[in-house]
Amino acid sequence: MKHNITLTKNGKTVKGTVQLTGSKSECNRALIIEALSGGKVKVENISDAADAVTLAEVLSLESKVLSQKPNDSGLQTQDLRLINIGPAGTAMRFLTAFLTLQNEEVILTGSERMKQRPIGILVEALRELGAQIEYVENEGFPPIKLKGSLAQQSNKVSIKGNISSQYITALLLIAARLPLGLELHIEGDLTSRPYVEMTLAMLQSAGIQHAWNDNVIAIQNQEFAPTSIYIEPDWSAASYWYAIAALADEAELFLPGLTQYSLQGDSVITEIMANFGITSQFKDGGVYLQKEAKPLARKIFDLKECPDLAQTIIVVCAALGHEATFTGLETLKIKETDRIKALQNELAKIGVKLIEKGQVYKLDCSEKQIPEHVFINTYDDHRMAMAFAPLALLIPQVEVEDADVVEKSYPAFWTDLEKVGFIPPAP
């Protein structure tokens, strides 16, 4: 049963140490690499984010199922198995590619929202490689029926770069296991390039070499090397603490385990939040955040390479009355919810408008207000809950709908907020 949570914060000073969970993005890639490596690769510091837990459980069960099957290519009707990944978008994309290589026939499905999130571009690319995939309900959307043991017909495939980097990553992760390897042609601009770079760096750490020339990424058929992959704490989760620091009068926070030279694209939050007076000092095995007084300059934020930070940054700007302009938000409409519409709805509750003009978005804070109480709808989207939570530094009572939604990526979020005084102790 869904329950809401009410945040209150006495004073506008925030101090403390926050130990973040492992990166969901890194972890999900590492889990697929581990499964494809046949035991050669081991993953350490697995994230407790619900998406990563779901993917780990599916891959573990998949390993057990396949180990009990006869080792032949005959796929019988009784082999059909249902895999439900709920709201885990990354798991849906990665498993769609992964399952084409497994010796079984399955139906891959998810939550009602997942059935509205497009998968057609990835399916078409996999079909070009020789995969057998059918749509069970609506063309271009989950659920899908996959018949494994892909018989590769070609090693060349083209895919649009501005839809979702997860489609590209899903293909790259299985590339070394394809008999003919993969030559991936990226059409147009590449959205979320750091996520593709993360994928290739993690594959390389597991012995998989690649060549990236212009818009073509090539990976030959090759073996994984024995190794261990350590999952760094989640920079996406860290972004909410940067937002808290930005809205505080004084902030001194320490986030252990985060490194300056991270594979995670969302580590760019250190540069973005410097605009709001937040300094990042890397020492003692982590990063120290500190708030310094700094005048805000009118700013255009291009978030094409870090769309998961969009809600966090937009809410901070709105709360500060900073009429910033944003670009690179094209993928937000096909996330856990239509994040543009969700932001517009919730920002209206403090009198702020997010105005869309083509692919450019601008905040209008001319009617901004600070109410005594605000109720934030979350739309089954973990990032809506966490992006709006820092408003408790400005608004006496911030009530957030469906508190458990944060389990998708940051299960300890409310507990961590309580430790620094955002949630009153139970009577």
Cα separation, 183 vs 162, in Å, equals 18
Pairing of strands 144-147, 105-109: antiparallel
Report helix, strand or coil for 129.
helix
H or E element that contains 120: helix 120-129
Looking at 234, 266, 308, 416, which residue is catalytic? 308
Comparing CA positions, the residue from 423, 400, 352, 424 lying closest to residue 3 is 400
Contact call for residues 287 and 264 (beta carbons, < 8 A): no
The tokens of 42 are what? 């081991």
What is the spatial order of strands in the sheet that 300-302 belongs to? Answer: 300-302, 325-327, 360-364, 353-357
Cα separation, 345 vs 339, in Å, equals 10
Report helix, strand or coil for 84.
strand
Contact call for residues 322 and 365 (beta carbons, < 8 A): yes
Cα separation, 121 vs 143, in Å, equals 14
DSSP character at residue 233? B
Diameter of the chain measured on Cα atoms: 68
Q: Beta-strand (E) ranges in 180-226?
A: 182-187, 211-213, 216-219
Known active-site residue 308: yes
Contact call for residues 87 and 113 (beta carbons, < 8 A): yes
The tokens of 400 are what? 């957030």
Q: What is the dihedral of CA 14, 18, 23, 24, to 10 degrees?
A: -80
Cα separation, 230 vs 22, in Å, equals 9
Cα separation, 170 vs 42, in Å, equals 19
Mind telling me the catalytic residues? 308
